Amino acid sequence: MIRMAVSGVLGFILLIVESLIVMKIKGYKTIEYGELTPFINVWAMNFFFVYSILTQMINWYENRVATAKGEEDHFY
């Protein structure tokens, strides 16, 4: 549940950063998404991107701790 909340917040921050990059490159003062739908679509894409990265980081950390304790999993 915490991972989902963090993904939502970081997905929104990533959306803002992406918008700022586009504004700098193209020389725009503002960005108009048109409607709410494109905004939510980009936010959802960023949400799942951040969620997958956090999931991989958690799996890596759990495997690292298990390996340090000598509880290796032999799943290949």
Residue 64 to residue 23: CA distance in whole angstroms: 41
pLDDT at position 32? 87
Contact by Cβ (8 Å): 5, 52: no
pLDDT at position 73? 59
pLDDT at position 75? 57
Which ranges of 1-76 would DSSP assign to H, the alpha helix? 2-26, 36-69
pLDDT averaged per 10 residues in sequence order, the chain, 76 residues? 94 95 94 89 96 94 83 58
pLDDT at position 14? 96
pLDDT at position 63? 86
